[in-house]
Structure 1
Amino acid sequence: MKKIGFIIGLFFLPIIIIMFSISASTESDTTTDFTPRTEQEKVAYQVLQYVEKNGGTKEFACAWIGNMEHESGLIPSRIQSDLPYMEATAMNPSLGGYAMGLAQWDSGRRVNLLNYAKEKKKEWKDIDLQLDYAWNHDGSDSNLLKKYSKGTDINQITVDILKYWERAGTKDDPMQQAQRKTSANNWYKRLSTGSQGAGSANVGGGKIDVLETQMGKKVYNGQCYGLTSFYVDNFNTGIHLGAGSPVGISGNVGNTVNAWEIGSAYSWESNGWQVINNPSYSDVKAGDIINWGQGGGATTSYGHTGIVASVSGNNKYTTYEQNAGQGEICAKYERTWGVEFPNTTSIVRKK
C-alpha cells in the first residue's frame, strides 16, 4: 500500500506543479503593484478587477475607464451637469440630457439602470451594480461591450466605445477621440506601474479627478492656498502645505504665508517636483500648480494660487481655484495669460 501510494504521489506531483504554474501565471496577469489612493483611482481599480474577472483585457478596461473619466469624472453618483436627483425626470425614458452614473446612461438606458437597481434593492450609485448592469443587462450594448473586452488595441477600443457604445454627441470629434485615447493610455500606465496619486491631468481634457470631487466645496481652510495644499497632499510626497491640511506642513524652507512664494517656500526638487520660475505661457501644462504675485485678480500682497486644468492655446487656459470670484469653494475659471493675473511667479509640476 505504501508503495502504491508513493507511485500515485509521483503521478500527481507534475499535475500539482502544472496547476500551481497556471495559478501563478494567472495572478501575474492581474494588477498587483497598484495602490489606489484617490476616490477615482479606487473606482478605476474596481473597474479593472471586474473586467479581468470576467475575462476582459487590461487594454479594454483602460479604454473603458478613459471614456468613463470623460463622461462622469469616474464619479458613480454623478448626474449630468451635476443636477440633483429628480425621480420624475429620471424615470422618463423619453427625456434626454439627464445622464447618470459612470458611463452617463441617458433616456431609456438610464431608466433601465434605475429599474435594475430597484429590482436588486440597491442604490443606483453602487459601482458593482453599474458594472453588472453594463456587462449583463444593457441589452445589445452588453454584447457589444463583451465583444470589445477581448481587444488589445487600446486606441481603437477607446474610439469604438465612444462611437458605438457611448454614442456620445461628440463621437466623431477628432479632438474628443484624442483626449479619450490620452486618458485611456494614461490609465493603462498608471494601472500597470503603480498609483501616481493625484489623478489625471490630460491637456485638453479639462479635468483633474481629485479636484473634480471637490467642485463647489470648501477645501481645507477655504483659501486659495488650501486648495493647492489639498492637491499636493494627494501625491503623498514629503511636501505638505498646511492651510488646514490634516497632515500639517512639511518640506518647507521659506515663507509659507504668501501664495506667490509657493515655488520657493518648499524643497520641491528633492521631493520629486519641478519648479519653473517666471514662466511663459508655453511652459504651462495641465496639472501644474500656478502661483501669481499681487496684481489684477490677486488683490492682496499674499498673491494667489491655483491648479491648471487645461491649456487650450491662444494664451487661454483653465484653472481650479479657491477664494476667487465664486467665493471660498473649489471652482473652475477660464483665464487668459497675463490678463487676469499679470504676474505669474512660478509653476510647480510633479515629475
Structure 2
Amino acid sequence: MNPLTYKYQKAKWKVILYLVIGIVVAFGAIVSAIFGGLSEEDCSPSTVSVEATSKSQRENAKKLYDFFIKEYGATPQGASGALGNMTQESQLSPDAVEDKSRALSGHGLAQWTAGRTTNLMNFAKDKDKPWDNFGLQIEFMDSELKGSEKGAVKALQSNSVIDATTQWQVLYERAGDPQMGNRLSYAQKWFAEFGTSDPVASDTIGNASDGALESSNLACDDGSGTTSNNSIVKAGESMKGYFYYVQQHPSADLGDDLLNPNKNGGTDCSGFVWLALKKAGYKVPENMGWFTGSMASDARGAHKYLTEISEKNAKAGDIIIVNQGAGAGNNGHTAILLEDWKGKDTNILEQGGGDSKVNEGKFGVNFATLLNGGDVVLARAHK
C-alpha cells in the first residue's frame, strides 16, 4: 500500500471512530434525559407525605392508628400495640422532650434518643418543617419503618395486643425502662377504642354477641339469697394476703401455674380478679389479657366474660368495676363483692386500694378516689 492510500485509510477510520463515540454520547444523553438521571437514592422506597397538626390525645391516636392500618396493613391489635408504646413514651405529644437540658435526650412521639434524635432533626431540616410537627414525625417514623427500623413492621401484623405491644417495645422503642404494664394498659385502651366491639378478644375481630348471653352461661340464684358464683368468693379469699401490687400482668414471678400462683408474685386489681375467676372455673381471657376499661366494655357489649347486672341483682361473687375515662393505670379499679350490693357500705375483696396485698375493704372507701364522676359497672362472670 502506498503512503497516500495508507493515510487515506487511517483518516477514514478516525472519522468512523469519532462518529461512533458521538453516537454513544448522544444516546447516553437521551437516556439520561428520558429517565431523569436516576440515582441510588431515587430507587429507595418513597415515604409518605403527611400534613397534620397535633390535636387531642385521642385525635392524635386515631391519626396514627389510621396511618398504620393504611400504610402497613396493620391489624387493629398491631396498631394498638404501637400506640400503647407511644402513649407511654410521650402521651402522644409530638413536642414532648425527656430532658430539655440534654440535646439528644428523648424527643417526640416515640421519644427518639441519641442518634435517632439527630436523624429526626436532620429529617425536619430537609423537609423544612419544625421537628415537633405532628405530621413530620409520622413521616419520619415512616422513613424508619422503610429503612433502619423495618424489622419492627412485623409487630404491626400481630393478632395479639400483648404480643404486638411487646414486639414494638423490643424492636422499635428499645426502652431502657419498659414498664410493660403501662404500655399494655394503654394498648388495650386504644384497642377498646378503635379496634373492635370486643376489646378483650385480642385474637378475633367483630365476633361479639348482639344479644344477651344465654341464662345457662350465667351464675344463677340458688334460692338461698346468694348466687352459685360463691366459688369466686372462696377462690378470692384463699388469696388474702397474697401478692405485691404492680401494674403489670402477668408478672413473671407469679409462676407458670396461674391456677396456683406464687403468693409472693406481683399483680394488680384486674389481675387478681382474673386469678380468682380462673381458679373458680370461670371464663377469662388468655394470659390476663384485660384491664378495667376492657372489662367494663365486655360487660356492656360482647359479654364474652362478663355481663352487666343491676344493683338489685348484685350479690356476693359479682364484680365491681369503676373507671375514670378509659380506665387505664390509676384511672380504674375492680374488686369482688363479698355480699349483696349495699352501695358504698358493700364489703369487697380486692388487690391494692386499701392495701398493697389482697385485702377486704368497703366499696365507698377503697374506690373513693374514682367515684367523683367515675363510671360504675356491676357485672357477673360467665362459666
Could you tell me the TM-score, scaled by structure 1's length? 0.43
Structure number with larger C-alpha Rg: 2
Q: How high is the TM-score relative to the length of structure 2?
A: 0.39
